[in-house]
Homo-oligomer: A and B are copies of this chain.
Amino acid sequence: MGDAVGLRERKKLRTRRALIEAALRLFEEKGYEETTVAEITAAVDVSTRTFFSYFTSKEDVVFFDGESRVEAALKMIADRRPAETVVDLLLRVTSHSLDAVKDADLTVELTPARRHLITTVPALRARGLDLLFETQQRLADALHRAYADELDPIEAAAAIGSLMGAAHLATTISMERGETPEQVWAAGRRAMEIAIRGLSSIG
């Protein structure tokens, strides 16, 4: 992703980052819809046209990141341990991902500002769900490949969909109830346990 060798590359990196920061700041200050691309570029002092050579759309600026999270999960699945159970692997992957979310504010990952925008602004929320769903498809595919002789594509999809569907809805509802980050995190864990044990475990 960010190699940055010559002045050219460094300058581009700087501009891109400046655009992202200005955009997020303005979105927070006056709202997403109320902020125009022209205002963002004015704050960074580049032309409006330039914005669209860095991002394909106004929405994009909110989602731009090195998407390291997903890659890590995909790799963990692909490199599964020989004797490991599907459940054990999924447990390991989800724990890892869930923990990654916790202290992810260091990297440019999912800051509270971003999170707020993505859950609040309809257009962004929809886009975020689309990305999440695409991620699920990739994970399901990886899982099927990793356990080709045990899981057919549908079973792999069911496993991933169940796990992530449970975790996502539970954490969302937890957040909506105004719970603390710790409680949200706990909700995610509980939801995943329920998905693994089966709904019968709560009836």
Contact = CB atoms under 8 A, between A and B. Distances in A.
Interface of A: 85-88, 90, 122, 125-127, 129-130, 133, 136-137, 140, 150-151, 153-155, 157-170, 172-174, 176-177, 187, 190-191, 194-203
- At the interface, is chain A mostly helix, strand, loop or mixed? helix
A122 B56 CA distance: 14
A86 B165 contact: no
B129 A85 contact: no
A112 to B, nearest CB: 21
13 contacts: A87-B200, A129-B129, A133-B169, A153-B173, A154-B170, A154-B174, A157-B174, A158-B166, A158-B169, A158-B191, A159-B194, A163-B165, A198-B200
Task: Determine how many copies of this chain the complex contains.
Answer: 2
Most buried by B among A167, A187, A195: A195
A199 B162 CA distance: 8
A201 B202 contact: no
B166 A162 contact: yes
Contacts of A200: 87, 196-198
Contacts of A153: 173-174, 177
Contacts of A203: 85-88, 150
Contact of A126 (B86, B90, B130): B130
Contacts of A194: 155, 158-159, 162
A150, A163, A166, A169 pick with most chain B CB within 10 angstroms: A169
A86 to B, nearest CB: 4
Contacts of A125: 130
